[in-house]
């Protein structure tokens, strides 16, 4: 992989105004605090402005607003490096991060130990790593990468340019869109959790005969599960980003560009809109509908449908355990307490 | 796989009263709303009765009560398809779902790339997929299926007719009962989390020398973990159903036919009875006992033993974040508030 | 493996005072209640003292205090076995547990089906199981064990004596210290969850170009994830113990000897000190700092930095669901209730 880049080519890619020498080269991306000579940094958060003065970065990506402060010399007069002025420095950092990614390139072609069914359809420029197992009638889109030890079940389709990391399990009848990425340990298309009481105290399995549809440009973290539908498919929109340990149950519909942090979950048959954000461990119980643009804060549990965009929360604040014990006892008697207050008000009246 | 079935054979299997032509054939199972001509649907929930009128389903599984409504023509007079009248339509749907399951049949026999120790005992009609690794003295029961990339540790026993999906890890000395099913990414028999403070600020590992016993007809979801015992075995009863991301810690005993939804967990050495139901993320701390027939609602934490069957809950309701912030502050001062109410009552008295 | 041991050698290893015949041999370790003749037990918890009288154990590890009680014959006069008196019986049990661990020994050497890049550096006495895949420039320390189906990415380093169970996925540029242990299904070095809003309602991936550093003597449970850093490394100290389903996000720093039970989590860029203890499902949101010696009780959520050692909690107590419903309604109106109490106090004043 090419390992250094000129400020000129970076400025062109980021549509940045460059104050500095275009032929100067940077070999790594780093934080303002840690960047050394020859490294590129960025300033995206007001609270790091003070670090700019001491930064040794060769160049920094920043906004016009901060560049003005810098050039005025007011607080950060010591910074001597080049400036790459962009409208949105955090987005600029995100975009240029790909250039400095040292991830090993997957080997071209199909490893001799990969087991690929004769009926599978493998596109051009596909990399399939050692010990991957590809079942009947699978379609692997051009330019995609299948990691070591992956299993892909019959009739599943992997979109062009998709990247499946090692040891991912994809069941049958799963469709994964273009340029989507799935991290190790994740399981797509396992059976939804569907059982009917059998009338004798036990459970009758409901066979899960739907599939899974995952859109384009989706990212799925590690050890995340997306279950197949009971009847019809579980559907993940385009541009969705899922962190590690996420659970998407059967027949969930999740709208485009929604984001779910670690452990967040949507239970069976719930529909969540576009551009929703779930902080860590936020969860939605089954059979609900959430409109577009809903944010759920960390560890909150959604037990009713939401029709208004906005931020929603549940939970209690952290306290020293000794204080928490006293308060928690009161939580168990809150209805009684409210009744007593009402009674006092009545007496007063 | 056979792909269509006559209403006559379905009626016979479900012990249903058929109103319609026994030779009519259905090729798929679907919801009332989505079913097309040639498809079978079911009506199990009162709130979908209205959909019956517009359903194009070839036949519908339903109760006597709904069939009467239908035949009276009162609200659903447009439905022209056949009726399969059963005592419990949801159970009927569950039972017939197996007939319409298009899951690929596992290949017969042992894949040449499977690595099977010479001392392992493999029963008749077993399917072992590519790259599975079976250690010494393992017993694989007749008719069972081992998925691609599975690992099965020494001396473990897989019951007859069990189905282990791809990339499951089973440690040594684990017993899995007949017709049990384990989904991808799950780990059975990893070490319990046992450590003693070593007196110097660190931890001394307690070797986990027990095993795991899993009963018959158990279902284990994806990315679920069941740890081996510290001394003696972790025990899962018959007919237990576990969803994805479930955690069963060392030396837990879980009774027959209990059900645990995603992320629900039982900490070390706790005993949970039969026919218990844990909604998503319900958890039990260690060293407790829960009697039979306990239901724990979503995200509730059980911190004391439970001796009475029934439903138990903890947690706070969801609110708009702005309101939640104001209420949450009060939760930290609830004991103080209760004291003030008591003082007001005293003054009044 | 040697399967029985003399009391004399056990006493020497544990630095125990032996009351009994040093040549007597024990073949297994068990609880006081379940131990049979020929088995070793331990008494570490006051509440099990009563079991000692009926125990059939051949020998018991216990404290001086309990030995005195025993020898006085007061409550447990029936116990006839040998005594191994130690300062800390629970630690004694932990240490001796390794002697009775029947885990199968990994086969020596490299299995012929393992795929090892020619540039990898494999130390002496390493065991690499079937179908493991080792990428370019990996270093495998002497005496370590790599389980079946593991993937180890380019340039990663596995410390001497480390034990990686089956089906673990380790990405590139991960360093794992000496004698550390990682259980099945875990994923080390997957991308941190970093995305910038792209200004058009979608997300721009931030490539995660840091790595992961894991110290010596660390234990990582099953299905646990430790993400690589965005810039710079995610760091886990020496002697840390992590249970199953734990999540360590990008650029977390976790201090030596801290312990995290199942589902506990640290979000991105948070720093947690040494000797911290997280009970099950305890979580820390991003960009916080917790000092050394902090305990977080089960399912508590840390939303602010903590500067004082001690125990912290959040959450509500478990109640019968009927009562919980009434109390939960009041939680949504707590701010109002507090205002009404204040008003009553004013009126009184």
Q: How far is A216 from chain B (nearest CA, A)?
A: 24
Put simply, whether C108 touches A (Cβ < 8 Å) is: no
pLDDT band (50, 70, 90) for residue A81? very high
- Return the number of CB contacts < 8 Å for A and C: 236
* C215-255 residue pLDDT tens: 999 999 999 999 999 999 999 999 999 999 999 999 999 99
Q: What is the pLDDT of residue A78?
A: 73
Contact C227, C193 (CB under 8 A): yes
Kindly name the residue from B51, B163, B245, B250 that is annotated as catalytic. B250
For residue C239, the domain's CATH number is: 2.160.10.10
Put simply, whether B321 touches C (Cβ < 8 Å) is: no
Do C181 and C272 lie in a common domain? yes
Put simply, whether C345 touches B (Cβ < 8 Å) is: yes
Query: Least CA distance to C198: which residue of chain A?
Result: A91
pLDDT at C349 over 80: no
Region of residue A251 (phi > 0: left; psi between -120 and 50: alpha; otherwise: beta): left
Helix (H) / strand (E) element for A213: namely strand A212-214
For residue B75, the domain's CATH number is: 3.40.1390.10
Cβ <8 Å between B149 and A171: no
**What residues in C contact A329, CB-CB < 8 Å?**
317
- Of C316, C337, C345, Cβ closest to residue B314: C316
pLDDT at C74 over 60: no
Taking alpha carbons only, the member of B256, B314, B258, B252 closest to residue B289 is B252
Put simply, whether B301 touches A (Cβ < 8 Å) is: no
In a domain, C15, yes or no: yes
Q: How far is A124 from chain C (nearest CA, A)?
A: 23
Give the end of a domain, one of B56, B73, B100.
Answer: B100
Contact C222, C201 (CB under 8 A): no
Query: Least CA distance to C245: which residue of chain A?
Result: A245
Q: Which of B137, B150, B198, B204 to mutate to test the interface with C (most CBs of C within 10 A)?
A: B204
Query: Least CA distance to B31: which residue of chain A?
Result: A231
Contact residues for C198 (Cβ-Cβ < 8 A; gap 6+):
A91, A94, C204
In a domain, C143, yes or no: no
Contact B258, B282 (CB under 8 A): no
In a domain, B344, yes or no: yes
In a domain, B267, yes or no: no
Q: How far is B16 from chain C (nearest CA, A)?
A: 38
* A154-183 residue pLDDT tens: 999 999 999 999 999 999 999 999 999 999
Mean pLDDT of C69-73: 68
Do C251 and C207 lie in a common domain? yes
* B245-260 residue pLDDT tens: 999 999 999 999 999 9
Which token pair is C77?
């006069």
In a domain, C95, yes or no: yes
Do C250 and C337 lie in a common domain? no
- Of B202, B317, B329, Cβ closest to residue C257: B202
A245 flagged as catalytic:
no
Helix (H) / strand (E) element for A18: namely strand A17-19
Cβ <8 Å between C317 and A332: yes
C window 192-211, beta carbon within 8 A of B:
none
Contact B233, B208 (CB under 8 A): no
Beta bridge partners of B197: B203
Contact C185, C225 (CB under 8 A): no
Helix C334-348 vs helix B334-348: crossing angle, to nearest 10: 40
Q: What is the pLDDT of residue A80?
A: 84
Q: What is the pLDDT of residue B77?
A: 62
Do C217 and C346 lie in a common domain? no
pLDDT at B73 over 70: no
Put simply, whether C257 touches A (Cβ < 8 Å) is: no
The average confidence (pLDDT) of chain C is 95
Query: Least CA distance to B233: which residue of chain C?
Result: C30
In a domain, A302, yes or no: no
How distant, in Å, are the alpha carbons of B70, C6, C40, C349 from that of C25? 77, 4, 9, 79
Which chains would you list as touching C if contact means 3+ CB atom pairs under 8 Å? A, B
Do C261 and C326 lie in a common domain? no
Domain span at residue C276?
168-315
Q: Kindly tell me the sign of the dihedral angle through the C-alpha atoms of C44, C46, C51, C55.
A: positive
Contact A121, A138 (CB under 8 A): yes
In a domain, B166, yes or no: no
pLDDT band (50, 70, 90) for residue C47? confident
Taking alpha carbons only, the member of C327, B334, C57, C336 closest to residue A345 is C336
d(CA C305, CA C296): 12
Instruction: Return the residue matching tokens 């360093």.
Output: C175
- Return the number of CB contacts < 8 Å for A and B: 234
Kindly name the residue from A245, A250, A287, A333 that is annotated as catalytic. A250
In a domain, A95, yes or no: yes
* A105-118 residue pLDDT tens: 998 899 999 999 99
Put simply, whether B190 touches A (Cβ < 8 Å) is: no
Cβ <8 Å between A207 and B131: no
Taking alpha carbons only, the member of B122, B155, B154 closest to residue B141 is B122
Contact residues for A278 (Cβ-Cβ < 8 A; gap 6+):
A258, A259, A260, A261, A264, A295, A296
Mean pLDDT of C62-72: 83
pLDDT band (50, 70, 90) for residue A50? confident
Region of residue B252 (phi > 0: left; psi between -120 and 50: alpha; otherwise: beta): beta
d(CA A74, CA C162): 53
Put simply, whether B42 touches A (Cβ < 8 Å) is: no
Contact residues for A118 (Cβ-Cβ < 8 A; gap 6+):
none
Give the end of a domain, one of B70, B100, B130.
Answer: B100
Tell me how many degrees the CA angle C54-C60-C63 measures, rounded to the nearest 5: 110
Give the end of a domain, one of A54, A84, A100.
Answer: A100
- Of A31, A262, A332, Cβ closest to residue C249: A262
**What residues in B contact C29, CB-CB < 8 Å?**
209, 231
Put simply, whether A37 touches B (Cβ < 8 Å) is: no
- Of A190, A223, A302, Cβ closest to residue B183: A190
Which token pair is A200?
């004798």
How many domains does one find in chain B?
2
Which token pair is C176?
């794992």
Q: What is the pLDDT of residue B51?
A: 85
Do C191 and C304 lie in a common domain? yes
**What residues in A contact C242, CB-CB < 8 Å?**
none
């Amino acid at each position: 992989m090419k390992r250094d880049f000129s400020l000129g080519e970076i400025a062109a890619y980021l549509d940045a105004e460059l104050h500095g020498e275009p032929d100067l080269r940077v070999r790594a991306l780093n934080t303002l605090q840690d960047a050394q000579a020859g490294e590129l940094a960025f300033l995206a958060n007001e609270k790091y402005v003070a670090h700019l003065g001491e930064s040794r970065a060769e160049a920094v990506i920043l906004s016009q607003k901060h560049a003005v402060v810098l050039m005025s010399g007011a607080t950060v007069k010591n910074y001597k490096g080049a400036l790459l002025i962009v409208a949105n420095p955090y987005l600029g950092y995100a975009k240029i991060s790909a250039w400095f990614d040292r991830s090993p390139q997957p080997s071209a072609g199909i490893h001799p130990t990969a087991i690929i069914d004769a009926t599978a359809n493998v596109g051009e420029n596909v990399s399939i790593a050692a010990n991957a197992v590809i079942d009947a009638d699978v379609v692997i889109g051009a330019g995609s990468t299948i990691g070591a030890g992956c299993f892909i079940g019959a009739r599943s389709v992997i979109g062009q340019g998709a990247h499946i990391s090692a040891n991912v399990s994809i069941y049958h009848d799963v469709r994964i869109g273009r340029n989507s990425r799935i991290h190790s340990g994740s399981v797509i298309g396992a059976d939804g959790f569907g059982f009917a009481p059998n009338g004798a105290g036990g459970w009758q399995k409901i066979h899960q005969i739907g599939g899974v549809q995952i859109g384009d440009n989706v990212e799925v973290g590690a050890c995340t599960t997306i279950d197949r539908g009971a009847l019809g498919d579980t559907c993940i929109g385009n541009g969705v980003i899922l962190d590690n340990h996420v659970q998407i149950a059967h027949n969930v519909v999740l709208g485009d560009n929604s984001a779910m942090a670690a452990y967040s979950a949507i239970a069976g048959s719930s529909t969540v809109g576009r551009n929703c954000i779930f902080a860590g461990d936020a969860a939605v119980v089954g059979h609900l509908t959430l409109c577009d643009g809903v944010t759920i804060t960390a560890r909150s549990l959604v037990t009713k449908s939401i029709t208004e965009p906005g931020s929603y929360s549940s939970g209690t604040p952290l306290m020293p355990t000794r204080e928490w014990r006293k308060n928690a006892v009161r939580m168990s008697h809150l209805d009684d307490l409210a009744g007593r207050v009402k009674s006092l008000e009545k007496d007063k009246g």
